[in-house]
Amino acid sequence: MIKVENNIATREPVPYFLDQSATPEALASLLDLSWTDPQFGVQDAAWWPEEDTSGELGMNKKWGAEVLTLDAERKVVLVKRKQVAMTAGEKAARDEEVTAQWADQIAARRFQVETGGVTVAGVKLNTERDSQSLLTGAAFAASIDPDYRIKWKAETGFVDLTGEQILGIASQMRAFVQACFNREAELLGAVADGSITSEMLEGGWPP
């Protein structure tokens, strides 16, 4: 809401003694305050809703001063903010912030895929970090003892694995995890060259 008095619009908060709820009745009561007690000094004022007409912010621009124009017929204040060029320092800070935001989103998506499980040789495997560590340990034991065998708990239940099978599964899980990180690196490259899109965040990950 913007204060209007003597056909001049200014940004001033609605006084505490007026109803500031968003109900239609409360908003309508602010359009004409002639009913208020003279001691409050707002009988000749009103608070009108605002409508932003600034449009989209241009490349390497920032919002500057605003121009307030009255639409008396609709009792609305039209707000148009000027666009001014960013300084070199502001551009650098903006780019750094955008890069950090993309990096966080990409890392979160990679972690989601990486730990979401993978099917190897028909066995659905848990790929959360603890499971990765356990399988790495089992693969190390199998590399030392060719006769090593274990019962591995897959998502569908326990399966018997030979040392050779353990090494094969561990290798494929490792390849899957690495592919997730490779995709993350590709997306960070797209951030660096400015070609990143939201759609790219969802595609290209290993199955």
What would the pLDDT profile of 8-23 be if each residue is shown by its tens digit?
999 999 998 998 888 8
Report whether pLDDT(45) > 90: yes
* pLDDT tens digit sequence for 139-174: 999 999 989 999 998 888 899 999 999 999 999 999
Question: 80 with 50: CB under 8 angstroms?
Answer: no
How crowded is residue 124: how many other Cβ atoms within 10 Å of its Cβ?
13
Question: 79 with 54: CB under 8 angstroms?
Answer: yes
The two beta strands, 76-85 and 50-52, are parallel
pLDDT for residue 20: 81
pLDDT band at 105 (very low <50, low <70, confident <90, very high): very high
Range 53-79 average pLDDT: 94
pLDDT band at 46 (very low <50, low <70, confident <90, very high): very high
pLDDT for residue 21: 85
Counting Cβ atoms within 10 Å, is residue 182 exposed (0-12), middle (13-18) or buried (19+)? middle
Strand boundaries in 108-197, DSSP class E: 118-120, 123-125, 149-154, 157-162
pLDDT band at 130 (very low <50, low <70, confident <90, very high): very high
How crowded is residue 6: how many other Cβ atoms within 10 Å of its Cβ?
6
